[in-house]
Amino acid sequence: MPHKHGKHTPRLHKFGKWMPSTLDSHHEWLGGLIAHVDNKTDDELHPVLKEFQNLIETNTRVYLLIQAMFTELPRNRVYATDPTGCPQIRDYQHMLRVLNHLLTTAPSWSDFTHRVGLVGLPINAVLDWPMGTPSGYAAFLDPEINAMLKKVLNAWGEYLQSPDSAHVLDDSQYGWFGETGKDSLVTVANLNRTNYSFEEMFVCDPSKKYHGYKSWDDFFTRVFRPGIRPVASPEDDNVIANACESQPYKVARGVKGRDVFWIKSQPYSVFDMLAHDPFAEQFVGGTVYQAFLSALSYHRWHAPVSGKIVKAYVVDGTYYSEPLFEGLGDPHPHEIDSVGEVTAQEYITATATRALIFIESDNPAIGLMAFMGIGMCEVSTCDITVSEGQHVTKGEEIGMFHFGGSTHCLLFRKGVNVNGFPSTDTDKNVPVRGKVAVVSP
């Protein structure tokens, strides 16, 4: 996906509105958050952040990396202050205080939040500048730091599954069921094809508080009503169903077993994507289809084919790692890309936390295929809801993402003649369970 590195050029992105679309938008949002935290009386740190602080202060390697990623940021307007002069994150103590606020805050709606694209990834926005430094690159690949971040994200996830998190689901100006929030949810779900209301599309009870949703996560993992997303050609095993409601990102053929996926061209690296699983060799030379889920979309996964689940498990990975070319480590100097993880989607297929589900299709022209659900940034939970040995029917639910941004891949083996993928030029979602490709016997 092309993006520009000129100092005064806004970096627009079209995938999902997870992150700010320009540097100034990022400054404005983050500056407001930091000002809010800085004006509060110091709250006691959450226990998981006390543990994070202890790791930083007792592990020399971690301390050096975390400290260095802040000191490596250039001392200029872009990284030091927002346009109003509000200070940005300055050191790890400041970072912990801002994270402390976010751990008991559910993503809320506002016209401004939607405009800058921060409805789903507030923690990523906090870490965005330091993760684009050379030391940030090393820090967010560090196993101990990632294990700690997993604990932090799990703590946030527990809050988002609690009843306290549901308060952002009201119909106020900043609630998800306020006029602008609800209109955007409906527009995205109708795909420019239908004209349903939210209540007609999703299982909910508008007569109840928060439309009957018990928590932010309950709303985030909402389900379509029966018939809203029909299965494509349910009797034709040559038609592949779309596994996620998602925007097409890339189709790659003849993929290599191992490649330099951290460079700007970002080719896929099958062995790394599939975590060196014994099945990985079968996908060398095959086809990869990748698509991106938007912040406002449906986040459950559905079986692309009918067949037997032969293996299904989650691979722990990194949470805020982006390649050096997105940041200050690029040999050609430029500013940090404010949407680095979004524009490095191939890189995260091999590094981020991901669910691997291998399906032996009932159709011998497909045979073994793989679904990958890839958690980006705040999505630390890839939730597989099928088990090994289970037979699934095309379109049946196989799992879901919890809280945050996400992408997914379908992998087909070499020799599988699969075509008809949707154009990657579109900025619209393809409906889940709709046709995404066709296999020729």
Distance CA 47, CA 98 (A): 14
Q: Residue 437 pLDDT > 80, yes or no? A: yes
Task: Report, as an integer, the average pLDDT of 334-339.
Answer: 46
User: Would the pLDDT of 338 be above 50?
Assistant: no
CA–CA gap between residue 51 and residue 48 (Å, rounded): 5
Mean pLDDT confidence for 5-32: 41
Residue 148 exposed, middle or buried by CB count within 10 Å (0-12, 13-18, 19+): buried
pLDDT beyond 60 at 343? no
Structural domains in the chain, sorted by start: 26-222 (no CATH), 239-317+352-439 (2.70.70)
DSSP string, 119-181: SS-HHHHHHHHHHTSHHHHHHTT-HHHHHHHHHHHHHHHHHHTSGGGGGGGSSSTTSTTSHHH
Alpha-carbon distance values, 223 to 243, 302, 399 (Å)? 14, 12, 12
Q: What is the mean pLDDT of residues 111-129?
A: 55
Give CA separation, 409 vs 22, 188, 283, 291, 366, in Å. Answer: 28, 21, 13, 7, 16
Q: Which of 56-65, 262-271, 382-391, 419-428 is predicted least confidently?
A: 262-271
Count of other CB atoms within 10 angstroms of residue 271: 17
What's the pLDDT band for 303 if we cut at 50, 70, 90?
very high
What is the pLDDT, as a whole number, of residue 267? 81
Residue 358 has pLDDT above 60, yes or no: yes
In this predicted structure, what is the pLDDT of residue 11?
A: 31
With a cut of 50, say whether residue 8 has pLDDT above it.
no
